Amino acid sequence: MKKVLKIGFDLDGVILYNPVRIFRPLAKKFLKPIKASFLHQNKDSFYFPNSLFERWLWKILHKTSFRINTGYDDIKKLSKNKKIKMYLITGRYSFLGQDYHTWLKKISAKKTFIKCYYNKQNKQPNQFKEDMIKKLKLDIYVEDNWDIIEKLNHHTKAKIFWLTNILDRNIPYQLKFFSLLEVCRYLKKLV
Ligand SMILES: [Mg+2]
């Protein structure tokens, strides 16, 4: 293993516990075709809320990330290890900036992460993450959304850790974890 391990973490569903993320497979199945036809968006692209109403709804949905995930204390401790550099990279769009900054304070992000980034320019979330992984030359990125995992694996060399959920857990994947604690235990073994 090389000298310093650079690790990126997603926010919603990884650092923050988000029970709604288990609906991703359901939402994908039932909502995407509807979204594509009504909103004239490419069905393979991630949804971007354009109207004020949609943005309001989107903010409410992000309120479902309502607490810090179990295991974050261990992540904080691990961040003190000189062989590790941690970054926070979330695909959250620009209009969620205020909530994002509130969470950064709540999790004392400055003490844990070298730097934190959110998707200010409203790129497709997977594209934003891909760009950041390449820019920061990350070795590992921890993500909860299976759709994003698939895309990142195609376009980056980083090892993408998957924090899975009850509904998706049967999808075969080598770097699959069931909790942030488990991710942390694995990372400890690497340094
Ligand atoms: Mg997420």
Domains of the chain with CATH codes: 5-20+64-190 (3.40.50.1000)
Q: Phi, psi (5° rounding) for residue 101?
A: -70, -35
Q: Which amino acid is at 82?
A: K
For the chain, give the percent of residues with pLDDT over 70: 85
DSSP letters spanning 53-113: HHHHHHHHHHTT--EEPTTHHHHHHHTTSTTEEEEEEEEEEGGGHHHHHHHHHHTTHHHH-
Q: How far is ligand 1, taken at its centre, from the CA of residue 113, in Å?
A: 17
**Rounded to whole angstroms, how far apart are CA atoms 106 and 102?**
6
Q: Which amino acid is at 39?
A: L
CA distance between the termini of the chain = 8
Q: How far is ligand 1, taken at its centre, from the CA of residue 15, in Å?
A: 9
Q: Which residue has the higher pLDDT, 18 or 68?
A: 68
Dump pLDDT digits (tens) for 164-177.
988 888 999 999 99
Instruction: Tell me: pLDDT of 64 over 90.
Output: no
Q: How far is ligand 1, taken at its centre, from the CA of residue 96, in Å?
A: 14
pLDDT at position 171? 93
* Mean pLDDT value across the chain: 88
Q: How far is ligand 1, taken at its centre, from the CA of residue 13, in Å?
A: 5
pLDDT at position 165? 85
Query: Is the Cβ–Cβ distance between 132 and 158 less than 8 Å?
Result: no
pLDDT at position 56? 82
Q: How far is ligand 1, taken at its centre, from the CA of residue 88, in Å?
A: 11
pLDDT at position 178? 95
Instruction: Tell me: pLDDT of 78 over 80.
Output: yes
Instruction: Tell me: pLDDT of 39 over 70.
Output: no
Q: What is the mean pLDDT of residues 102-113?
A: 97
pLDDT at position 28? 63
Q: How far is ligand 1, taken at its centre, from the CA of residue 119, in Å?
A: 13
DSSP lists the bridge partners of residue 143 as 162
Instruction: Tell me: pLDDT of 46 over 80.
Output: no
Query: Is the Cβ–Cβ distance between 32 and 23 less than 8 Å?
Result: no
Query: What is the pTM (predicted TM-score) of this model?
Result: 0.85
Residue 39 corresponds to which tokens in the numbers above? 């909103």
37: pLDDT confidence band, cut at 50, 70 and 90? Answer: low
Angle between helices 146-155 and 24-39 (to 10 degrees): 80
pLDDT at position 152? 97
Q: How far is ligand 1, taken at its centre, from the CA of residue 177, in Å?
A: 14
47: pLDDT confidence band, cut at 50, 70 and 90? Answer: confident
Instruction: Tell me: pLDDT of 105 over 90.
Output: yes
Instruction: Tell me: pLDDT of 131 over 70.
Output: yes
Side-by-side strand order, sheet with 159-163? 115-119, 84-93, 5-9, 140-143, 159-163, 176-177
Nearby residues for ligand 1 (ion, Cβ within 5 Å): 10, 12-13, 144
Q: How far is ligand 1, taken at its centre, from the CA of residue 163, in Å?
A: 9
